[in-house]
Structure 1
Amino acid sequence: MVNDTTNDLQAIKTVNDLIKDIKVAMFTTISTDNKIISRPMQTQEVEFDGNLWFLTMKDTEKYDEIISNPTINLAYAGKSYVSISGTAEFIEDAAKKKEYWNPIFDKMLDTTYDDPNVVLIRVDADSAEYWDSGNTVKSVKTFVKKLTNKDTEKDRKEINDTVDFK
């Protein structure tokens, strides 16, 4: 019997392998008036260990949304599709900001990493779902079956594995 720690490590490795080459995630928050808002954000190049890192500014709606409700979702699309649910937290760490900073951010954000308005977002992943798109026909077939309520547990398992991190 495999213990939960081994399962968790395998789940984290699987998600890491699926998202490591995808630079941008759709970062979804819930607005203060309860609307779902998504925007593209660059994931920092750090191996996924159950946490993901992003940079943002404090004077944004995204910042206010996370303060109000830290529950978020990240969607990655590439050779596979990955949806990660978790909790966002702001981290003030000058060394990490400098480490994760990219000169492109100077122009994009019109500032530097040491600006006190720049803040890190650490997303603690709770769960992830992924669809391996290696077999597109099978993926489309499974989605059609879901819409007609004719899918089986076996069909879902082949396409959609859910991993929990907590």
Structure 2
Amino acid sequence: MSKLHTNAATSDPKAIETVRDLIQDIETAMLTTVSDTGLVSRPMKTQHIEFDGDLWFLTKKDTSKYDEILKDPRVNLAYAGKSYVSISGTAEFVEDDARKKVLWNKMYEKILGTPYDDPNLVLIRVTTDTAEYWESGSAVKMITHLLKKAVGKGSEPKSEPGLNETVDLESAPKTPTD
């Protein structure tokens, strides 16, 4: 499987805003963690708060993802919708009852089978490092680009502007959250 051409990383605020816009309407991300046997992915509901380089999720402590993140906090988040976004970063657990209450809704009570004040419930904060995205505004443009790459027509195909970008989120200024 070939990978799209990756442009040089940038910390341009407009690019960060683009990533925010691309993921804001995607309800579920696939969170990938490192287990003892390899990579493991599972769906997680993104908490829609202002994206400043950190992403938030809720989980229980008695899960394999909790143990996996304790052993190796490197994670990847994949979003798929009208566009595709892959975000790498570092996960940490945050005990913040006030934030849990703000982020909580009745759907979580059904999904997680517990109330927001359960001591087994914990927040996951992913401090993002980089995001790579593929805008799929033009399916024809995307398919043409992938076909050129797959058949190796000529030299490395030039990346279409706006089609694929890599964003350095680590050096972007962050808004204080605490």
**Is the structural similarity TM-score above 0.5?**
yes
Equivalent pairs, count? 160
Cα RMSD (Å): 1.7
Indicate the residue corresponding to 1:30 in structure 2: 34
Indicate the residue corresponding to 1:17 in structure 2: 21
With the length of structure 1 as denominator, give the TM-score of the two structures: 0.89
What is the letter of the counterpart of residue 26 of structure 2? Answer: I
Aligned pair in 2 of structure 1 residues 98, 143: CA closer, same or farther (>3 Å)? Answer: same
Q: Does 1:165 align with 2:172?
A: no
With the length of structure 2 as denominator, give the TM-score of the two structures: 0.84
Of 60, 65, 76, the residue aligned with 1:62 is 65
Cα displacement (A) at 1:145: 2.5
Cα displacement (A) at 1:147: 2.6
CA distance in 1, matches of 2:107, 2:49: 17
CA distance in 2, matches of 1:143, 1:122: 34
Indicate the residue corresponding to 2:130 in structure 1: 127
Indicate the residue corresponding to 2:139 in structure 1: 136
CA distance in 1, matches of 2:59, 2:80: 21
What is the letter of the counterpart of residue 164 of structure 2? Answer: N
Deviations, residues 6-27 of structure 1 (Å, cap 9, x unaligned): 9442222111111111110011
- Identity between Structure 1 and Structure 2 (%): 59
Deviations, residues 127-153 of structure 1 (Å, cap 9, x unaligned): 001111011111122222223334645
Aligned pair in 2 of structure 1 residues 41, 164: CA closer, same or farther (>3 Å)? Answer: same
Gaps of 5+ in 2: 1-9, 171-178
SS in 1 for 2:158: helix
Q: Relative contact order, CA 8 A, sep 6+: which one is greater?
A: 2
What is the letter of the counterpart of residue 147 of structure 1? Answer: A
Cα displacement (A) at 1:158: 4.4
Indicate the residue corresponding to 1:42 in structure 2: 45
Q: Which structure shows the higher helix fraction?
A: 1
Q: Which runs of 4+ in 1 moved over 6 A?
A: none
